[in-house]
Amino acid sequence: MTDHPGTMNCAEFQAQLPELIGSGANTSDHPHLRSCERCRAFLADLETIAEAARQLFPSVEPSEKLWARIESAIRDEAPEDTQDSLTQS
Ligand SMILES: [Zn+2]
């Protein structure tokens, strides 16, 4: 019901997050984040994990392989109902 034109759902947004962060974009300015508290929390978690990864691998650029590991780690922890959040207003 909140699926306005131009508004992506949480799964789509979260799928794009590593790319957004990797490109140096200002993710906190993303329209989806302004309207989605769940994804703001998700981004905070992602940044925490990314920061931890940087400290674990200080000499390694955040590669696609690293992001894939981060993504899969998040997916393992992500609640199953992520895609249902569109029903929240
Ligand atoms: Zn969201």
Summarised one tens digit per residue, pLDDT across range 35-46 is 899 999 988 888
pLDDT of 50:
79
Q: How far is the CA of 52 from the centre of ligand 1 (A)?
A: 23
Residues 60-71: what's their mean pLDDT?
75
What spacing in Å lies between the alpha carbon of 46 and ligand 1's midpoint? 13
Q: Determine the distance separating the centroid of ligand 1 and the alpha carbon of 61, expressed in angstroms.
A: 28
57 Cα to the center of ligand 1, angstroms: 29
pTM of the predicted model, to two decimals?
A: 0.50
pLDDT (0 to 100) of residue 82:
55
Ligand 1 centre to CA of 54 (Å) is 25
Domain coordinates in residue numbering, the chain: 44-78
Distance (Å) from CA 58 to ligand 1 centroid:
30
The answer to whether 66 and 57 have CB atoms below 8 angstroms apart is yes
Looking at the chain, the whole-number percentage of residues with pLDDT higher than 90 is 9
* DSSP three-state, residue 10: helix
Q: Round the average pLDDT of the chain to a whole number and report it.
A: 77
The crossing angle, in degrees rounded to 10, of helices 10-22 and 64-77 is: 150
User: What confidence score (pLDDT) does residue 1 get?
Assistant: 47
Residue 61 confidence (pLDDT) above 80: no
Q: According to the model, what pLDDT value does residue 8 have?
A: 77
